[in-house]
Amino acid sequence: MKITNAEFIISAVGPAQYPDDGLPEIGLAGRSNVGKSSLINRMIMRKNLARTSSQPGKTQQLNYYRINEDIYFVDVPGYGYARVSKQQRAAWGRMIEAYFQDRDTLRLVLLVIDLRHPPTADDCTMYDWLTHYGVPVCVVATKADKISKNHWQKHIKQVRSTLGLRPDIPCVLFSAETGQGREELWDMIVKHTRL
């Protein structure tokens, strides 16, 4: 995939602010600090277009990035961040539900998990929830650079079995650090958006 243009469009808190040009959207889901924003940056080969941080909870709204006038990446706030109030958590839930459940132009959700550890209970809940609502999911196991290559397959197996992944759900090994998995993930995105 050749990236000719990538730009930040809007931070949306609800449907009224979503773009209305009908372009296909790829949503990011995953634990806070797992590497969703870094994944976007690696996919579009830009160092810091999507804001990243070693502090969890950096992404607070739905951040829209338009790529090549063709698709949007939608960076969604992560779950599982302990230091938020009950009210904030409830508002987060309403925002993501409204997005993942009702967004007609959403073509694929990349569920980002950490390859190093078994998926958390929150990861499992998110996977179950997305598949329950019939949202197309691709699991992305990131931070592959943090473990040695000969352990990759063992960890992927653990990811598949802990999430209870259906055989037809893809799981892509990825690293924002090295670019591992970038082409495979673009192929997946192209397939779901028919670019």
Per-residue string for binding with ligand GTP, 132-171, x by CB under 6 A?
----------xx-xx-------------------------
Per-residue string for binding with Mg ion, 52-71, x by CB under 5 A?
------xx------------
Residue 37 is a binding residue for Mg ion (CB under 5 A): yes
Residue 131 is a binding residue for ligand GTP (CB under 6 A): no
CA atoms of 140 and 172, how far apart (whole Å): 5
Write out the E strands in the chain.
6-12, 25-30, 62-67, 71-75, 106-114, 137-142, 171-173
The binder of 122, among Mg ion, ligand GTP, none, by C-beta within 5 to 8 A per type, is none
Residues whose CB falls within 8 Å of the CB of residue 139, separated by 6 or more in sequence, listed in order: 110, 111, 113, 127, 159, 163, 165, 169, 170, 171, 172
Tell me the two tokens of residue 75.
């960076």
Interface with ligand GTP by CB under 6 A: which residues?
30, 32-38, 52-54, 56-59, 77-78, 142-143, 145-146, 175-177
Interface with Mg ion by CB under 5 A: which residues?
37, 58-59
